[in-house]
């Protein structure tokens, strides 16, 4: 598969004077989810085609307009610039007077956050192999996801995992591949030790922070426990009562190593997490 870059694929965004749902003849259905960036609704075609989309709405109210536009532009840009079977694609993006809209495929099985305590070990491995392939594709293009968590992985009808919610993604142009810690975002329960300990002006590696978050996700899936801020995962992994295979325990120790230098990169991780 040919790789694409943002420079090769400029973001396409419709500027609309009318309502997005009216313009594209869509019925706005039930609320699928809500986060800091906005609300996601299930939509169907008014023409009766049966096609379902998930549409994320970014409010352009004055108090959140700057942040919303920044996240909308980032998410639409990255989704349109990269193409991979395990990254959520952008169907269309538009700015309306009151909000911006990002249309994506609808994933009927929801997200990993609602499934993480109900999956077999083989299915966990399958999901994680999909996630790390998508992440490797981003990292190869110098893009850090920057908000990896169970709720940002979506499952289709064939039980394939797709990495989404790219509104905080960072394209790294600095040769050092480091960023100010204050700009490395995500959800606190998935923060790496170096992020938790850093001052806002310290620099850290966002790619290795992504890898730590993958470790937290994998831990949650195999243990059934919810992610915890400041968790001592190395101590947890020393518990011999945990029902983990030697290979799982070894992999988790590497992913969750407090020293970012010791964590594998995404390309190594693709080889380490395989469907068995």
Give yes or no for a contact between 100 and 69, defined as CB atoms under 8 angstroms apart: yes
Confidence of residue 11 (pLDDT cuts 50, 70, 90): confident
Query: 14-105: which CATH architecture?
Result: 2-Layer Sandwich (3.30)
Q: What mean pLDDT, rounded, does the chain reach?
A: 91
Residues whose CB is less than 8 angstroms from the CB of residue 124 and which lie 6 or more positions away in sequence, other chains included: 218, 221, 222
| Continuous segment of H or E residues that includes residue 93 | strand 92-95
- Give 154-211 as a DSSP string: EE-TT--EEE---TT-EE--STT--EEGGG--S-GGG--HHHHH--TTSEE-HHHHHH
Residues whose CB is less than 8 angstroms from the CB of residue 233 and which lie 6 or more positions away in sequence, other chains included: 215, 216, 219, 252, 256
Quick one: tokens of 93?
């993006």
| Continuous segment of H or E residues that includes residue 248 | helix 246-255
What per-residue confidence (pLDDT) applies to 175? 67
What per-residue confidence (pLDDT) applies to 108? 94
Confidence of residue 173 (pLDDT cuts 50, 70, 90): confident
pLDDT one-digit tens code per residue, 63-80: 999 999 999 999 999 999
Q: Of 48-57, 81-90, 174-183, where does mean pLDDT reach its minimum?
A: 174-183
Confidence of residue 8 (pLDDT cuts 50, 70, 90): very low
Residues of the chain with CATH 1.10.510.10: 112-272
What per-residue confidence (pLDDT) applies to 44? 95
What per-residue confidence (pLDDT) applies to 4? 34
Beta strand 92-95 with 14-15 is: parallel
What per-residue confidence (pLDDT) applies to 174? 72
What per-residue confidence (pLDDT) applies to 10? 52
Give yes or no for a contact between 182 and 201, defined as CB atoms under 8 angstroms apart: yes
| Continuous segment of H or E residues that includes residue 14 | strand 14-15
Q: Of 10-19, 87-96, 141-150, 245-254, where does mean pLDDT reach its minimum?
A: 10-19
Q: Closest Cα to residue 156, out of 65, 248, 86?
A: 86
Residues of the chain with CATH 3.30.200.20: 14-105
Confidence (pTM): 0.91
Question: Alpha carbon of 58 to those of 81, 224, 257: distances in Å?
Answer: 20, 32, 36
pLDDT one-digit tens code per residue, 113-143: 988 767 888 899 999 999 999 999 999 999 9
Share of the chain above pLDDT 70, in %: 95
**Spatial distance between the Cα atoms of 182 and 198, rounded to a whole number of angstroms:** 8
Q: Closest Cα to residue 101, out of 67, 61, 73, 62?
A: 73
List residues bridging with 111 in a β-sheet: 154
Is residue 244 predicted with pLDDT exceeding 90? no
Give yes or no for a contact between 11 and 76, defined as CB atoms under 8 angstroms apart: yes
- Quick one: fold of 112-272? Transferase(Phosphotransferase); domain 1 (1.10.510)
Is residue 93 predicted with pLDDT exceeding 90? yes
**Spatial distance between the Cα atoms of 213 and 190, rounded to a whole number of angstroms:** 5
């Amino acid at each position: 598969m040919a790789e694409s870059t943002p420079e090769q694929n400029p973001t396409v965004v419709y500027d609309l004077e009318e309502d997005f749902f009216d313009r594209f003849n869509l019925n706005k259905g039930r609320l699928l989810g809500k986060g800091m960036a906005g609300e996601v609704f299930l939509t169907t075609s008014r023409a009766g085609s049966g096609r379902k989309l998930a549409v994320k709405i970014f409010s352009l109210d004055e108090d959140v307009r700057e942040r919303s536009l920044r996240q909308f532009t980032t998410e639409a840009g990255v989704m349109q610039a990269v193409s991979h079977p395990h990254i959520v694609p952008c169907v269309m993006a538009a700015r309306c007077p009151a909000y911006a809209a990002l249309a994506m495929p609808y994933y009927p099985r929801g997200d990993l956050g609602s499934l993480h305590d109900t999956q077999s070990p083989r299915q966990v491995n399958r999901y994680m192999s999909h996630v790390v392939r998508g992440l490797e594709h981003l990292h190869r293009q110098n893009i850090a996801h920057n908000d990896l968590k169970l709720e940002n992985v979506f499952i289709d009808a064939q039980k394939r995992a797709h990495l989404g919610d790219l509104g905080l993604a960072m394209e790294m142009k600095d040769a050092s591949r480091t960023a100010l810690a204050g700009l490395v975002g995500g959800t606190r329960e998935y923060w790496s030790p170096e992020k938790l300990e850093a001052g806002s002006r310290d620099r850290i590696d966002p790619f290795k922070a992504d890898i730590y978050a993958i470790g937290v996700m994998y831990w949650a899936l195999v243990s059934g426990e919810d992610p915890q801020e400041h968790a001592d995962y190395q101590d947890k992994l020393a518990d011999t009562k945990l029902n983990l295979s030697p290979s799982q325990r070894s992999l988790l120790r590497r992913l969750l190593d407090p020293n970012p230098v010791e964590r594998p990169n995404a390309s190594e991780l693709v080889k380490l997490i395989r469907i068995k």
